[in-house]
Every structure is written in structure tokens, then in C-alpha cells.
Chains A and B, each alone.
Chain A
Amino acid sequence: MLTKRIVPCLDIKDGRTVKGVNFVDLRDAGDPVVLAKQYAELGADELVFLDISATQEKRKTMRSMVLKVAEQVNIPFTVGGGISSVEDVDDLLHCGADKVSINSSAVKRPELISELSNKFGSQCVVVAIDAKKVGEEWIVHLAGGTIATDIKLFDWAIEVEERGAGELLFTSMNHDGTKAGFANEALAKLSDLVNIPIIASGGAGTKQHFADTFKLGKADAALAASVFHFGEIPIMELKEELKKQGIPVRL
């Protein structure tokens, strides 16, 4: 049976992880490669690296990080942040990334999604959507939720699927950082509207939140950062709990 995926997300700046990580005694907790290996051994199903640096040297640094991760890590990983062209993606896939995630570049130029899925296959194209509930409407936001667009989440999700995305990574800006649970209502609606896998992101605080997003939110995978990085929720303990609640997980 296909299992639900648990996905730790690592923020990367200039080739280093940004937030401290203290769930294990690591010699270098800032080294994304060391961390990635550790997560793979601790039961993570997949990893996401999000590049938040904005320097000119960015692409080169990211390439070399991706190469090192691919060399040493035996689970799949996605790379996102600042990817805006077919060449960027070609580069990252050749370095061994399994998937890439695009966000604002897809909003600015939706054809990019089709270009990528035609050239590389939809299986490696993840479209990340950040949205905020404003009144009764979920609105797509850019730049970490700071810039509102006039695009509605559910319309955009359908277009993204039609253009050939292989997966959706949905982050609720209302829930992100709150540790109060995922946006399960919006997630469930997304799952009904599109037929590609959905990664839930934003709001993880407890093990029950993960169980809820799989059951109520119908998510295929759940992404989180701090609850994993700070050891608040050990991944294997989380999976044991999910299994107890009848949710298929890889143990």
C-alpha cells in the first residue's frame, strides 16, 4: 500500500542550513549534507531543500550542495527557491535532484510549468503555492506571503495541474509558524479538485496535527521544519503514532 510521506524541509542560505538544528548531536548542524543523511537514517521519506539566499553566487553554491546531497543520501529530495528557467532545472536535475519546486516564477509565467513537464516529465515538477485566507477567499501570495496576487488558490491549483505539474506543495500562510495544525479544510478541497499528490505545509505542532492532515486534509505528504529540527517530534515516534491511528506509513 502506498504510504503517507513525512517530509522535513531545510532552509538553505549560501549552502548552509539557516535555522539551528538540535535534535541530534551533530558535529556540523549547519551542513545540509550531514543533516540530510541523518534525516534519511531517522526515517524521513523525502527531503525538501529551500534556497532562501539571494546572492549572485547562489546557483553555483546550490549546484554543489545538490551534488553532495545526491552523492550521499539514498532517499528522494526536492530543491526549491529562485528557480525560474528550464536551464535552472536542467542544471539541478543533472546534479542529482529528483524534483524541483517552483513558486513565484510559475505565477509570473505559468508556461514555465508546461515547459518543464514537457522537457523533464511531470514527475519532477512540484508547484509550491503559498496562500492566505482573506475573508472567505483563499488568495495566492508571493515572497513568503508578503505580496498578494489577484489569483484564487483553487483556480490556480487546477491550472497548475492542467499545465502538467506532478505534485502540489500547499502552504497556508495563516497556519505557517502557528504550530496549531494544518489548513485541513482547504487541503481536502484541493484534493477533491485535482488528481495529483498534495504535500501539506504550515502549522505542524503535534503528532495529532499530522494525523489530522492525512485523515481530514486528505494530504499525501506532510512537510514541516522546526518540529523536526528541534527534536520536538522524532520522526519514528510520529510514524508509530500514525500507524496506530490506521494511517499507512513506512516503518
Chain B
Amino acid sequence: MNLKIVNYGAGNIKSIQFAFQRLGYNAVLTSDANDILKADKVIFPGVGEASSAMKKLEESGLDALIPELKQPVLGICLGMQLMCKHTEEGDTKGLGIFNTDVKRFSNQVKVPQMGWNTIKNLKSDLFKNIDEDDYMYLVHSYYAKNCNETIANSDYEIEYASALENDNFFGVQFHPEKSGKTGEQLLKNFLEL
């Protein structure tokens, strides 16, 4: 399988590569548009701050490329947030793939949310062999608001979208590469889509 990770200088991607390696797949980092277009599956990672990440995407033209992709694309963490319409972090316009906005948790709860939380209302093949209320590892200060593209929810302060799906595009707020066996199952499901 031709599996590519979009490289735009955003954060720690080693863990994602290693997670696929444990599943027996070689995920290659690239920022080359042709490479990404030819891939069977694309991972869109992201750790860090939204506006600077978006700027990097724009500088490399990847902001125009990603929404045009036809193969399955999986956005992880900030990657997923950048696929939404807008995020409060740095008042940043997103790629608009998912029809929802990203907000900051209030100070009623500790920010960032850090740790293992349950996922529920699972609605996609992405969650094959994953049970309601299984645990995923999350680290984030901003969350995607619930919408009709929500395929999983988690609760922290409010019920928010911890996974989204629109056609060939998938996004997860949690880190499957760090979420033990459940996370591995999700990555496996994505590869089998």
C-alpha cells in the first residue's frame, strides 16, 4: 500500500510512522504534491498551534491540495481541527472540509484535556471492532463542535465531536498512534477502508 504522511513541519510524526510500522506498513513522509496525489491513503497529522500550522500549509500550497484529494484521508488532532471551517486558535480559517467550527474549552475544566477519555455514538467503519466507551488518548485545548458529520463523541465540559467523516475525509481528535490496542485497531480500519 502506498501510504503517505503529509509533511508540513507540524509536530511529532515519528510516533505515527512507528505505529504503522508496528502494523507492518511503511508510512512515508512527504510534502510533494504528486506523491500525495498518487498515494492510496493519506495521513494529515498536526501538533502545535493552528495559525502557524495553517501558514505552513499555505506556503507549500498544500491548503489547496488537501481538500481536492479523492483517496481516504485521515486528519489527526490538529490535522482534524484544520480540516474544519474555522478555529478559535489564532482566529484561523480552516480547510473547510468538515462543516463545523473549533472552540476553546472554558476554564471550568483543566486545559489542556490530557489523558484517556471514552468515545461513544460510534458511526463509521473507522470504528469496526471498536466498542462504545473504549478509551482513546487525547491532548487538546480546542474541540470541534458537534455537527452532522460527527462519527464519535467524547465528553469534556460538553459533548463534542471527537471524530468526523465527510466522504473520503476522516478526522480524529485523539491520537490513535498513542492509544494502545484500540488506537491500533482504528489505524488498521483506516488502512482497510
Q: Are B110 and A220 in contact (CB under 8 A)?
A: yes
Task: Give the residue name and chain of the A residue nearest to B78 (CB).
Answer: A121
Q: A123-B139, A124-B47 are in contact. Are A220 and B12 (CB under 8 A)?
A: no
CB closest chain-B residue, reference A166: B112
Do the beta carbons of B118 and A1 come within 8 Å of each other?
A: yes
A2 and B156 form a contact (CB under 8 A): yes
A93 and B12 contact, Cβ closer than 8 Å, known pairs A71-B18, A75-B137, A98-B178: yes
Q: Is the C-beta of B113 less than 8 angstroms from some C-beta in chain A? A: yes
1/0 per residue A170-212: CB within 8 Å of B? 0000000000000000000000000111000000000000000
Query: Contacting A123 at CB < 8 Å: which of B15, B114, B156?
Result: B114
Interface centre among A67, A76, A93, A120 (most CB of B within 10 A): A76
From residue 1 to 50 of chain A, which have CB atoms closer than 8 A to chain B? 1-5, 40, 45-46
What is the size, in residues, of chain B's interface with A at 8 Å between Cβ atoms?
Answer: 36
Q: Mostly helix, strand, loop or mixed at chain A's interface?
A: loop
CB atoms of B19 and A195 under 8 A apart: no
B178 touches A75 (CB 8 A): yes
Is B21 part of the binding interface, using a Cβ–Cβ cutoff of 8 Å?
A: yes
Q: Nearest B residue to A67 by beta-carbon distance?
A: B14
A45, A46, A70, A74 — most chain B CB neighbours (10 Å): A74
Interface string of B21-47 (1 = CB under 8 A from A): 110000000000000000000000001
A96 at the interface (CB under 8 A from B): yes
Q: Does A167 contact B (CB under 8 A)?
A: yes
In the complex, the answer to whether A72 meets B22 with C-beta atoms within 8 Å is: yes
Residues from chain B with a CB closer than 8 A to the CB of A76 are 137, 139, 175, 178
- B180 beta carbon closer than 8 Å to chain A: yes
Does A74 contact B114, Cβ atoms closer than 8 Å? no
> Digit string of B133-152 for contact with A (CB within 8 Å is 1, else 0)?
00101011100000000000
Tell me whether A45 and B115 are in contact (CB under 8 A): yes
Among candidates A4, A74, A94, A197, residue contacting B19 with C-beta atoms closer than 8 Å: A74
Q: Are B180 and A121 in contact (CB under 8 A)?
A: no
Say yes or no: A40 contacts B180, CB within 8 Å: yes
On whether the beta carbons of A123 and B112 are closer than 8 Å, the reply is yes
Contact, CB under 8 Å: B177 / A2: no
Bound CA span A122–B104, Å: 14
Chain A contact residue count (CB 8 A cutoff): 34
Bitwise interface map of A from 105 to 129 toward B, beta carbon under 8 Å scored 1, else 0? 0000000000000001111100000
CB-CB nearest in chain A for B178: A76
- Hey, what's the 0/1 contact readout for B76-88 against A, CB within 8 Å counting as 1? 0000000000000
B18 touches A70 (CB 8 A): yes
Q: Nearest CB to that of A93 among chain B residues?
A: B12
- Verify if A242 is at the interface (C-beta below 8 Å from B): no
Among B171-185, those with CB < 8 Å from A are 175, 177-181, 183-184
Task: Say whether A74 contacts B111, CB under 8 Å.
Answer: no
Is B14 a contact of A70 with CB atoms below 8 Å? yes
- Which residue in B12, B114, B118, B137 is a CB contact (below 8 Å) of A96? B12
Determine the chain B residues whose CB is within 8 A of the CB of A120 once the complex forms: 11, 47-48
Question: Is there contact, CB below 8 Å, between A220 and B114?
Answer: yes
Query: Does A95 count as interface, using CB distance less than 8 angstroms?
Result: yes
Given the complex of chains A and B, what is the CA–CA distance between A71 and B20 in angstroms? 10
Q: Is the CB of A70 within 8 A of B137?
A: no
Given A74-B181, A123-B47, verify A196-B18 contact (CB < 8 Å): no
Say if the beta carbon of B129 comes within 8 Å of chain A. Answer: no
Nearest-CB residue, chain A, relative to B48 = A121
The 9 tightest CB contacts between A and B, nearest first, are A96-B14, A121-B48, A250-B116, A123-B139, A250-B135, A2-B117, A197-B114, A76-B178, A71-B18
Can you list 29 A-B pairs with a CB-CB distance of less than 8 A?
A: A2-B116, A2-B117, A2-B156, A40-B180, A70-B15, A70-B18, A71-B22, A74-B19, A74-B22, A74-B177, A75-B137, A75-B179, A75-B180, A76-B175, A93-B12, A96-B12, A96-B15, A96-B18, A98-B15, A120-B48, A121-B49, A123-B47, A166-B139, A195-B110, A197-B112, A197-B114, A197-B115, A220-B115, A221-B115
